[in-house]
Amino acid sequence: MSASLTLTRADLIRSANFIAGLWSEGTSTRLDVTNPATGAVITSVPDSGAVEARAALDAAHAAFATWRKVPAKQRAAIIKRWNDLVLAHQDDLGALISMEQGKPLAEGKGEVTYAASYIEWFGEEATRMNGEVIPAPVSGRRMLALKEPVGVVAAITPWNFPAAMIARKIAPALAAGCTVVCKPAEDTPLTSLALVQLAHEAGVPAGVLNIVTASRQNTPAVVDVWLDDGRVRKITFTGSTPVGKHLARRSADTLKKLSLELGGNAPFIVFDDADLDAAVDGLMAAKFRNGGQTCVCPNRVFVHRSVFDAFAAKLAGKVAALKVGPASDPASQIGPMINDRAVEKIERHVQDAVAKGAKVLTGGQRLTHLGPNYYAPTVLGGADARMACACEETFGPVAPLTVFDDEAEVIAQANDTPFGLAGYFYSQNVRRIWRVADALETGIVGINEGALAAEAAPFGGVKESGYGREGSTHGLDDYLHTKYVCQGQLD
Ligand SMILES: NC(=O)C1=CN([C@@H]2O[C@H](COP(=O)(O)OP(=O)(O)OC[C@H]3O[C@@H](n4cnc5c(N)ncnc54)[C@H](OP(=O)(O)O)[C@@H]3O)[C@@H](O)[C@H]2O)C=CC1
Ligand SMILES: O=C(O)CCCC(=O)O
């Protein structure tokens, strides 16, 4: 039986840019949006360039003057209406995510709930942009720290969570009183366009939220306009570290504020005192969510020698049982990868590991009989630090297992990477738990837990995984600056 990937509200499939409150075709050049399960074209969107980018920025800049003055309670009400509409259209949005991104339908619908949780959270946070009254060190003065929106925000989003990444960047921006220009990934523009349509229906005023679509080839032309223009006061980006560094360099001339949520190389450590069944379940959840295409996915799995064989056997059994297939099959647990480049990277990592001595415990090949972009969920034994899969983010359903002997050695290995987004470990020893949590050089730590993200938690990395935090109260702060106001002559 196949699940329906059609929409009840066909008008949620938009094929234009949204600028200054209007859907506009802009350039006549088009970009096909395809279903990664089949390669079939779903629709096309504008392959925009500098002209559309500038128009979107002009609109956002003009709207900032009024949006920032809208009372927080009114902004909150609009954002909460947006949340209600997103939830009301969960089935359609979930189907759209699955169509263009490939994740199983249950995961697509789950992502809608996850995205909405950020919208709801920041709708509430909008009313809590409290400043401070500072006790003055001298008499006759009143000293205040006020919170103000930073200005126009450029949001550049990836394809792996096309709804959640839009939500957790745009909702706090709107809550803070900022206006937005957005460029979604070339592979997944449709979900973001549908979310913008719902934001418009929720009452977000014209010019406050603008979105421009572009191909990989034309994306730099769009984003460079925003990078070079001093009216854009903040860039918020999720994606690869090289692109994040490029954005930081190009923002330097106008000193924009930046939130960069970049690649990871997460360690997952199973100590000899771990609950092995819980550790296997935690790894399954953390590693195979979204087919392994998640920045917080464990990329290197370290298992203590004394439990290695038992852990590897349990894990390989569960991974071999995963059902791979299209989103339209309700039994599918792993969908296609996003595109051919992604599958090629996974293939390269597995071949490199095997050539250097790793053993395939399950999987290890493309599943061409299913379609163009499928790769079998894979477990590798005997992985080590020389292998590409230990140094680069694989971003696919591959779990490379490395044996270790003692705690100090494994912590050194876990931290031996330029990245520092998430780290996980399983242990029942309370002293070890806090020692290891303190020692891991990551922005996020999971202790006996594989599913970490939540709207109330600060999400973000250290080292070359970026800076800034999304979600939680810190996620609003990233869109605000602090103005110190001092009044004298009070005596
Ligand atoms: N931290 C994370 O969550 C993510 C990490 N990644 C990592 O990056 C790898 C490659 O994925 P990929 O999709 O290529 O990631 P990218 O970093 O290239 O893409 C992310 C976003 O940045 C845009 N972008 C790309 N180049 C530029 C540029 N020169 N100037 C401005 N914006 C740009 C993309 O647009 P367009 O799509 O049009 O190119 C997309 O919107 C993955 O295998 C994974 O390791 C990828 C996605 C998310
Ligand atoms: O992978 C990413 O791009 C970040 C989102 C992951 C999450 O929210 O758990």
Q: Which ipTM score applies to this complex?
A: 0.97
Buried b (16+ CB within 10 A) or exposed e, 225-243: bbbebeebbbbbbbbebeb
CA of 193 to the centre of ligand 1 (A): 18
CA of 286 to the centre of ligand 2 (A): 11
Pocket of ligand 2 (CB under 6 A): 158, 160-161, 164, 238, 294-296, 453
Give the model's pLDDT for residue 5.
75
- Give the separation between CA 64 and CA 174, rounded to whole angstroms: 10
Q: What distance separates the 2 farthest-apart alpha carbons in the chain?
A: 82
- Ligand 1 contact, 240 CB (< 6 A): yes
Q: Is 470 a catalytic residue?
A: no
Candidate of 296, 394, 442 to mutate for ligand 2, largest count of ligand atoms within 8 Å of Cβ:
296
Candidate of 238, 243, 295, 470 to mutate for ligand 2, largest count of ligand atoms within 8 Å of Cβ:
295
Candidate of 287, 459, 465 to mutate for ligand 2, largest count of ligand atoms within 8 Å of Cβ:
459
Ligand nearest to the CA of 419: 1
Domain ranges of the chain: 10-262+465-484, 267-447
CATH code matching the domain that covers 10-262+465-484, chosen among 3.30.70.2390, 3.40.605.10, 3.40.190.150, 3.30.300.280: 3.40.605.10
Candidate of 157, 222, 240 to mutate for ligand 1, largest count of ligand atoms within 8 Å of Cβ:
240
pLDDT digits (tens, 9 = 90+) for 16-73: 999 999 999 877 899 999 999 999 999 999 999 999 999 999 999 999 999 999 999 9
Q: Which residues of the chain have pLDDT under 70?
A: 1-4
Give the model's pLDDT for residue 313.
98
Residue nearest atom 7 in ligand 2 by C-alpha distance: 453
- Ligand 1 contact, 293 CB (< 6 A): no
Question: Cβ(173)–Cβ(180) under 8 Å?
Answer: yes
Using alpha carbons, select from 213, 291, 235, 166 the residue that is nearest to residue 19.
213
- Give the separation between CA 447 and CA 87, rounded to whole angstroms: 31
Q: Tell me which amino acid residue 325 is.
A: G
Question: Cβ(368)–Cβ(347) under 8 Å?
Answer: no
Give the model's pLDDT for residue 107.
97
Ligand nearest to the CA of 260: 1
- Ligand 1 contact, 348 CB (< 6 A): no
CA of 239 to the centre of ligand 2 (A): 10
- Ligand 1 contact, 115 CB (< 6 A): no
CA of 161 to the centre of ligand 2 (A): 7
Q: Identify the active-site residue in 125, 261, 393, 470.
A: 261
What CA–CA distances, in Å, run from 218 to 139, 177, 251, 338? 58, 29, 19, 19
Give the model's pLDDT for residue 293.
98
Give the model's pLDDT for residue 2.
52
CA of 262 to the centre of ligand 2 (A): 10
Ligand nearest to the CA of 248: 1
CA of 61 to the centre of ligand 2 (A): 29
**Over the chain, what is the mean pLDDT?**
97
Cα 216–chain centre separation: 18
CA of 337 to the centre of ligand 1 (A): 15
At the topology level, CATH places domain 267-447 in: Aldehyde Dehydrogenase; Chain A, domain 2 (3.40.309)
Strand partners, 145: 132, 484
Give the model's pLDDT for residue 3.
57
